[in-house]
Amino acid sequence: MAHLKPQRKVFYPLLLCVFAVAGGNLAIAADANLRIRFTTTMTGSEYSPKHIHVVWLASSSGSFICTAGTDVGSNKRSVWAHDRKDKFQTWWDEGSQSDRQNDIDARTGATQTGAKSYDFNWNFKKLDGTPIADGTYRLYFELTSDNDGSPRNYTYVTFTKGASSWSNGPYTQGGYNNIRLDYTPQTVTVSTEAATLVTDSSARLNGNLTATGGEDPTVYIYWGDNDGGTTPGNWDNEIDLGIKGVGTFSADVAGLLPSTTCFFRCYAQNSTQTSWGATRSFATDAAYVPYISLNPGQLTFPDTDAGGSADLTFDIINSGQAVMQVTSLEIIGLGKEAYTLVSPPTVPFDVSASGGTQEITVRFAPMGAQDYNYAQVAVG
């Protein structure tokens, strides 16, 4: 404790009033999917019914992009050829063969021995996992049974990859029967990630948008002291983060109560789809209380004549784990007229945690009999 008095007067404690202010889940995105179905026919050329054939994606103008896939798990490519891969007139010869060689290494099968029907799904990703952007494309089909690649069966189907599902076909053309394409767009997918930067009164709520469903969605974080499930109106608070693309996002919340369990959940919505992440929770820390001491605890001024003055100082010391903010500082008591706060001249000011200090200077200027009175410093 600290108190103020002339040298010959009795001890009185300092009145100290201080207010302190302390400064998942896994979501798997559903990929877009193209179901490809068709039946081959034979060309009747040199090695028929043995044949090689391939299915690939090209731009709307016909430029090669990648060979279609046939199995997401093993990442196979729709190439039924190996040693005779160079007999394809278009697939092999169009542009650089480096990417075609990689597709051959990941082929679905070798030379086929007769006409048959095929039915497989492709997640619209290249061999290296790069997704195909929305747009207009051609899906090409090529088959040959001859060393010079002619005669051959050859055709393509034009389609648009976007935010809506569709089915095309059946088409019979270019030596292929019953070509059917069924498209399912990628679904918007959001996950709720663990809260970070948790204190006794604040936290950062995190999420991750892993798929947009072909259209960037509006992202929300719902939170409160209870789990509102998948009904927005059941949550205490809503944070609208606006339209987001794929990636992480966060929002800071404050004004939380110490030692309290809080719940939050992420939500994304575009014009056709919605997605909820799982509910997560966190507990705020116990209240951070500043621990204040004063040094020295008593200020005893020397004898001072009326009209004179003497200055002494003491320190406010914060040994706690939270920043203390002093919002008021004044001298009170019967003898307050004889004492003046010299520094700090203004409030508020902070006293940092873990040993932070603030020096206070008090001036004693007696004016007569009141120098025998005492005074106190009130810190708020």
Same domain? For 236 and 249 the reply is yes
Q: What is the pLDDT of residues 137-170, one digit of tens each?
A: 999 999 998 877 778 899 999 999 987 889 999 9
Which of 184, 206, 235 is the C-terminal boundary of a domain?
Answer: 184
- 277 and 296 co-located in one domain: no
Q: Are residues 230 and 319 in the same domain?
A: no
Greater pLDDT, 4 or 39: 39
Residues 248 and 297 in one domain: no
Q: Are 154 and 142 in contact (CB under 8 A)?
A: yes
Q: Which of 143-152, 167-176, 204-213, 327-336 has the lowest mean pLDDT?
A: 327-336
Give residue 238's domain range: 188-283
Question: Cβ contacts of residue 61 below 8 Å, gap of 6+?
Answer: none
Percentages helix, strand, coil for the chain (3-state, rounded to 5) are 5, 50, 45
User: Where is pLDDT greater, at 342 or 112?
Assistant: 112
> Is residue 1 a contact partner of residue 16, using CB atoms and an 8 Å limit?
yes
Domain boundary among 158, 184, 210: 184
As a whole number of angstroms, the distance between CA 299 and CA 14 comes to 10
Does any domain span residue 28?
Answer: no
Domain identity same for 245 and 357: no
Confidence grade of residue 375 (pLDDT, cut at 50, 70, 90): low
Output the six-digit token pair for 80: 């039924």
Spatial separation of the C-alpha atoms in residues 324 and 145, rounded to whole Å: 84
Q: Are 254 and 223 in contact (CB under 8 A)?
A: no
Please give the Cα distance from 134 to 128 (Å, whole number).
18
CA distances from 246 to 125, 131, 189, 249, 251 (A): 16, 13, 9, 9, 16
Residue ending a domain, choose from 167, 184, 201: 184
Indicate the pLDDT class of residue 96, thresholds 50, 70 and 90. low
For the chain, count helices (H), then strands (E).
Answer: 1, 29
Task: Render pLDDT for 260-285 as a digit per residue (tens, 0 to 9).
Answer: 999 999 999 999 889 999 999 999 98
- 47 and 176 co-located in one domain: yes
In a domain, 27, yes or no: no
Regarding whether 64 and 174 lie in a shared domain, the answer is: yes
Question: Are 51 and 167 in the same domain?
Answer: yes
Q: Is residue 317 part of a domain?
A: yes
Contact 190, 246 (CB under 8 A): no
Same domain, 177 and 215: no
Shared-domain flag, residues 159 and 54: yes
How far, in Å, CA of 60 to CA of 71, rounded?
Answer: 25
Output the CA angle 131-132-138, nearest 5 degrees.
150
For 47-86, the pLDDT digits (tens) are 889 998 999 999 999 999 999 998 767 789 988 888 788 8
DSSP bridge pairs for 49: none
